[in-house]
Amino acid sequence: MTTPGPTAADPHLADPSPAGSAPAGLAPGVRPEHIEEWDEARAILPIAPLMRSLFSSADPGDTLLKLVVLFTLAQTDGRFTKERIRALVRAIEPDRLDALVRSLYDGRWLELRARDNTYRLNPLGLFLLATLRAANFASQTPANLLVRAAEALHFGARVDGDGRTTGRLLGMLLAELETQAERAREVIASGRPRQLLRFSRREVRAQLDRVTEVLALLEQRLDTASTHFERIVRLHRAMQTILRAHEGLHRRLAEWSLRRLETTDAGYSLSALCDAVMSATDDELETGRARAVHWPRIAARVSTDQILDRHTTERRARAAARAPFVYAPPPEPTAAPIDVIADDPMSRLRQAIADAIRAIEPGESLRWGTIAPSLTDGFADAALHVALLARLHGQGRADVIRLEGMPLRIDMPSHLADLVRDLDGDAALRALEHAGVLDDLGPRGWHARITLTRLSDDR
């Protein structure tokens, strides 16, 4: 890169730091050669007149210190609090540094965000820095800032292949892109028609393509392990944000059909059109409504669940509406005596036996088989009543029980196993029946021949 050399006629171009002497404002013990950005700052001095309008002080030392601050900030990502600036720029006395920051802020080199009192470099300032560092002003075209920044980056990467310059320019480009991404979000959120039209005119897509081209060139030169890779990734993210915003805005503009509207404009003034509306008949207006004003109608605005829910709730509501509530005392509960005999099998058994033996004289007997049909028709219940009869038998004394005051003896045949030892099942049953051990009670099955004998009342 070639830059015009300084001339003694311009006070800005005079060397502010003769060898061995340091300008005022440096921290004690710090010499110019200790400051990394010193030479770069001095290299900018030949074009100081171009920046005179941006730098209020006539003191070149002040300009140098400001440039030191600006370069330091430009190399660092993010926003800056005053404390962070002091930490980054330790070569300058804190008080002096604060004054410089105030001056840079007043000169619009720094932008203050009131929300958190943090500074960031103005994109225009970044562009100037990038241009000062890597561009020849005479060859610049009056393109917009982004394209010029991209060109500066391209130029710097081409002529100055060291990673330091590339990284610095990448940082500047990133800061500019992030600013634009933030503003793109603002435009998409609250953009007015005129803003959007201007956005469209400036051909953001073409500008981003230029940046993409530069980035592709840089990526070819940088390996993935490069310290700049992360910055390139962030650049791509910022570009994606802008592209998405641009896509949405472009769609909005495309669908506005403003040109079509303009062509159909028949040249009437707004007042003439309003007068026409006021003088139109109601029929004409109804026709206009049908043609130009539409409101969506949803065919099905209720779900099955809603239908079922409303059906349930509305049925109750309708019933409640038809029959107003009138208090009526609840009916008195009916207290019927419990029929123990009907419900209790033992009671039924005792009743049936008592009825049966009441009909016979003392000393006479009857078989269980004559009583069982009045109690049950099936084997299971018959077996149950036999068991109950056995229990009744067990409650007596010396085989004698009393039912309703009538003494009664229950006899069962003894086991006659010898009778059936060599017989098959059916023959054995018949033999036992013949021997007076079993009785065939039909559907109630085979049961032991139980004899109930009424005893005399004196027993």
Partner 1 sequence: MSDPTTDRRATAIAHHLLHGGCLDPADDGDRALYEELMGNGPLYDRVAERLAGVGYALHQFFGHLGVRPERAVEGLGGNTLGLHAGHIRLLVWLWVQLVYRQIKAAARDEATEPLPGRAQSLFDFAEAPDDAPPEIAPSEVFAEFREIYSDAAIKQFLGALRKRRFIVQSRRSDPIVAGPALYVMVDPLRMEEYVVGLARRGTMALPSEPSGGTP
Non-local (6+) Cβ contacts of 287 within 8 A are none
| Helix ranges restricted to H, 113-192 | 123-134, 145-159, 163-190
Q: Give the shortest CB-178-to-partner 1 separation in angstroms.
A: 12
Could you tell me the CA-to-CA distances from 90 to 17, 30, 112, 120, 164 in Å, in that order?
Answer: 19, 10, 21, 18, 20
Q: Taking each helix axis from N to C terminus, what angle separates 60-74 and 123-134, rounded to the nearest 10 degrees?
A: 100
Q: For partner 1, which is the closer residue by CB, 131 or 376?
A: 131
Q: For partner 1, which is the closer residue by CB, 192 or 421?
A: 192
Residue 203 token pair: 């051909």
Non-local (6+) Cβ contacts of 371 within 8 A are 352, 353, 356, 452
Q: For partner 1, which is the closer residue by CB, 298 or 359?
A: 298
Strands 365-367 and 446-448: unpaired
∠ CA 315-321-327, nearest 5°, is: 115
The radius of gyration of the chain's CA atoms, rounded to the nearest angstrom, is: 57
Q: Give the shortest CB-125-to-partner 1 separation in angstroms.
A: 12
Q: Check if the beta carbon of residue 452 is closer than 8 Å to that of residue 366.
A: yes
Non-local (6+) Cβ contacts of 394 within 8 A are none
Phi, psi for residue 8 in degrees, rounded to 5: -70, -15
Q: Give the shortest CB-210-to-partner 1 separation in angstroms.
A: 12
Q: For partner 1, which is the closer residue by CB, 155 or 199?
A: 199
User: What's 107's DSSP letter?
Assistant: T
Q: Check if the beta carbon of residue 125 is closer than 8 Å to that of residue 108.
A: yes
Q: Give the shortest CB-130-to-partner 1 separation in angstroms.
A: 14
Q: For partner 1, which is the closer residue by CB, 198 or 434?
A: 198
Q: For partner 1, which is the closer residue by CB, 274 or 423?
A: 274
Question: How far is C-alpha 282 from the chain's CA centre?
Answer: 51
Among candidate residues 169, 167, 251, the one with its CA nearest the CA of residue 205: 251
Q: For partner 1, which is the closer residue by CB, 120 or 350?
A: 120
Q: For partner 1, which is the closer residue by CB, 87 or 285?
A: 285
Q: Give the shortest CB-277-to-partner 1 separation in angstroms.
A: 5
Compute the distance between CA of residue 438 and CA of residue 449 in angstroms, rounded to an integer.
5
Q: Give the shortest CB-123-to-partner 1 separation in angstroms.
A: 6
Q: Give the shortest CB-78-to-partner 1 separation in angstroms.
A: 21
